[in-house]
Structure 1
Amino acid sequence: AFERTVEVNLLGVWRTVRAVLPHLISSRGYCLVVSSLAAVVHAPGMAAYSASKAGCAAFADSLRAEVRHLGVAVGVAYFSWIDTDMVNSSEGHPALSGLRGRRLPGPLGRKYPVSDVARAVLAGVNRRAPRIYVPGWAGGARLLWGLLDRLWTRIAPIGAAVTDHALLEDVAARGAASSRPMGPGGAAGFRGGQRG
């Protein structure tokens, strides 16, 4: 699952940008790379996702510097939990349901509507923004993360131990297939015997 996540989230972005870059250059266009708040806040159990999204952010930041002189602008979108099938599917999992709300109280665990993302993306694209955040406080989290990382590294293992225990119990009760990626994206990766 780790390699499949990097394949889709990072290499898929790179391949897409590589294909459209000549058109972006000729039109002096704008490219928005979708990252995630997980690129900044590295939660236990999300290593593949966090690494792939951090790679997207780093790729976009480097690309911005590389193509600016050609008139191309590059932005990075950092989204928190968005009310999508991917986020919602984890809530139906016996070991993972409710983790977001229990381990991440208040705004950190809140789901944000897709309409918030649409508004922010539209405004950001119109401004050719270097960064777009949903929710807005994610920008502050990104800037402050260097200071908050030490605190997070002490707190996060507590939740990781609880999650590990719940996942091991789930695998013992339902089998190893219960630990594979969930939701429409996870199901797509396992069609036809593919393993990621």
Structure 2
Amino acid sequence: MSTGNTLLGLLATGPGHGYDLKRRHDERFPQARPLAYGQVYTTLQRLVRDGLAEVDATGSEGGPERTTYRLTEQGTGTLLDWLAEPVPPAPVTAANEIFAKVTAIIASGHGDPADFLRAQRAAHLARMRELTAVKTAPGAPLSAVLSADYALTHLDADLRWMDNAAQRLGGLAEEVTSA
């Protein structure tokens, strides 16, 4: 996810200063890694340089001096282009760490892949319980519910893969050790 495009989306809701934009980001994307202040200000400077945002005002209002930014017309166009573009599906990859660990356990002979899959399944189920609690909490914000649903769907896909892998362990072990 592009930090610049995300900040453009936040600026589309109204002008804001760096601290405010970081707070809005962290509230609206609760499952994402929080933005660092330095990243916010560096990105804002780049958006201004590229004509996508501009300084709206500078003032202190009884506190430290803050610069408020707003979206430009060009920034709105860039945001609309980004929002209209479908996100490419994630590539099918063998770089998934769960897959890599199962394969390494089989290839190295260190450990039991079925035991690892059981432990991983338990970790996934625990995380799914946490996410379900987040999305069913009274007054949960829509952004938290949508984020939890997204993560739950991916965890469910991992669980289905783990079930399939557990069923195929014998064949996979022969394939890896004969290579």
> One fold, TM greater than 0.5?
no
Identify the TM-score tier after normalising by the shorter chain.
Answer: under 0.3
Relative to the length of structure 1, the TM-score reads: 0.24
Q: Higher RCO, 1 or 2 (CA under 8 Å, sep at least 6)?
A: 1
Bigger-Rg structure (1/2): 2
Relative to the length of structure 2, the TM-score reads: 0.26
